[in-house]
Every structure is written in C-alpha cells, then in structure tokens.
Amino acid sequence: MRPQSRLTFPRSLHPGAWWLWAIGLAAAASRTQNPVPLLLILAVAGLVVSARRSTAPWAKSYGAFLKLALVIIAVRIVFQALLSTGSQGPTVLFTLPEVPMPEGSGLKLGGEVTLEAVLRAFYEGLQLAVILCCIGAANSLGSARRLLRYVPGALYEIGVACVIALTFAPQLVTDAQRVREAHRLRGRKTRGLGSLKRLAMPVLEGALEHSVDLAAAMDSRGYGRTTDDSRVSRRLTGVLVFGGLLGVCVGVYGLLDGTTSSWLGLPMLLAGSVIAAAGIAVGGRRTGRTRYRPDPWALPEWLVAGCGVTAAVAMFVNVAVAPEELYLATVVMVPPVPTIAVLGILVAMLPAVLAPPLPVVRAPRPLEVAA
C-alpha cells in the first residue's frame, strides 16, 4: 500500500487556518457592495463548509448563520421600503400609506417605494449577511475550543470571553435540535410561532449554561494562572499593548479613510502590530502553559490560510485598480464583474480540495461493545 502524503493524510486541520481563511473572505466582502463577488463569496464559503465540515454538533451552525443572514437582508429591505424617498430613484414600484412627518426633519415614513432604493438596500444587506456567513463558516470548520489553546497567555481573560461568545451560537443550534427532537417525541408541533415560545427559553438557557460551564471548567483546570512578576514588567506590558492597539486603530482608520495622510495607513498599522506583539510576548511570560497534543501547522494549513489571504489581497487590488467595479455609483440591474476580485475569490475555493480529509470515526462492532 502506498503511503499517504501530508496533503491526503486524514486529520483535523488547525482551527487557526480555517479562521484565517474565513477572515480573508470577510475582509474581501467588506470592501464591496457589488452583488457578483458577494454572492460568489457566499457560494465559496458554503461549498468549502459542505466539503470539509466534521460531524460534530457545532459543525452544523452554518445553516443557522445562513438563515440569520436572510433575515438581515429582509429587515434591511423592509426598513428601506418604509423610509425610502423618491429622490433615491425614478422607478416607482408601489406607494405605501404615508405618515406625515415634521418639515425639515429629513424623515419620511411610507410613501413611494422605488426600485433603486430596494436594490441598494439589498446590496447593503447582502454585504453584512456575507460577512456574517464567513464567521459562521469559521465556526463550522474550526473549533473555538481548540483555537483557544493558542491564545497568548497575556490575553487569557479575553480568550475566555471570546470562547464563550464563539461557542454560544454553535451550542444554540445544538440545543435547538435537541429540544425540537424532544418535542417531536412528545407529539408536540415543532413548526410555527406557537412552538417558538416553547423552544426559545430552553434553547437560550441551555446554550448559555454550556458556555458558562466551559469557562468554569477552564478556570478549575488552572487556565490563566499567573506567576509572580515585578511591577515594572506589568506596567511595561500594559504600555506596549495599549500603545500597539492604539497604533493599530489609527492604522485601520487611515486605510479605510483615503483622505488622511499616507503615514496613518499601512505604516502605522505595521508599527502598532509590532508593538502590540512585543507587549503580548512580554506579558505571556507571566503564565506557565503546557499544550497536550498540539495541532500541527504544516503545508495544508499554509495553503488554506493563503487562499483566504489571496481573496482579500485580490479584492484590495481591484479596489485600487478599478474601484467603480466594486463601489456602484448608481444601482444597475446588471452589475459589472470585477475580474481580479473574482479570480481571488475562486482561489479561496481550493481548500475544499487542499484541506486534508477528516478521519473516519469507526463505529464499534457488537462484539466490542459486549466486551
């Protein structure tokens, strides 16, 4: 039998690789309101999730994020239809009963609903929905609990808060399935608004209880215990981390706002990242941590993370080369196709093949169970 290579050997991919891949797709989605690349990102995320998600209960959370994304789009369109004005487009679809508003307030409730306003609301809601689905894909592919092992020791308090937040949504889906199945076995209806009242409270309570139990278990096992350290070291850590995060915030603002000086963009972001990393490294000495069976970071992890970064870089390049393809000045029925961005997003689809297959869990035989 031929030995399997590292690319095809069944194992679980490092969760950090999946999160970097998803963050790259989310960054690409944040730079455009063109529905063509947004829908392509949504399709790529769904394809990779269906090809590489595990059988764990938290891996089924992508469907819940997708339903929430549809709700966001619908709410955005409804609010736009209620508050739209005729100045947003000449094509009137229908007219709603209008409620008089004070003059000079700039508000309008009801009235004419234009096609251009509805399409603009759809594009804006689709952008937020796609970013949310990228986070859902990361939750389905990369375990938040496994990712917590690699949080720097200086950020263990933030790590505990993040793992509670990240495990709440997947656990919410798992508890919803469990409660719905229990109601179905008791002969109760599981569809409609009447069943929603019976499902909401047990599901929310169970998901929150599991997240808090996880935090308590981490604390009981000594997670985040600190060693004795000098006052100078603690102050140095605080100054470095705070200064670095401040530089990162200024750098991100400089990148998003093109009217500011050039030194407020990428140079400030890099300098802030370096200073913050130094502060985290100094603060990490206060915690003594060991890792049991750490996840490997090999060639598949680099390839998966690189595919997500490629999608983000291609989108940023397309913004610099042809911004009119990504920021639509006027709402048109047939939006343009940004070639560079589309090619980068298609590269992000490769983890469906490049990521190693998951190990097959063999069911025990009857004789083994009896033994």
pLDDT value for 159: 67
Q: What is the DSSP letter of 28?
A: H
Question: CB neighbours of 213 closer than 8 A, spacing ≥ 6?
Answer: none
pLDDT value for 263: 61
pLDDT value for 85: 60
Question: Which amino acid makes up residue 58?
Answer: W
Pick the closest to residue 271 from 279, 283, 260, 259 (CA basis). Answer: 279
pLDDT value for 129: 92
Question: CB neighbours of 49 closer than 8 A, spacing ≥ 6?
Answer: 62, 137, 140, 141
- pLDDT tens-digit profile of 200-239? 777 777 777 776 777 677 667 666 555 556 677 777 777 8
Lookup result for tokens 């798992």: 174
Per 3-state DSSP, the chain is made up of helix, strand and coil in percentages (nearest 5) of 65, 5, 30
pLDDT value for 153: 63
pLDDT value for 347: 94
Bridge partners (DSSP) of residue 95 are 112
- Regions of the chain with pLDDT less than 50: 1-5, 363-364, 366-371
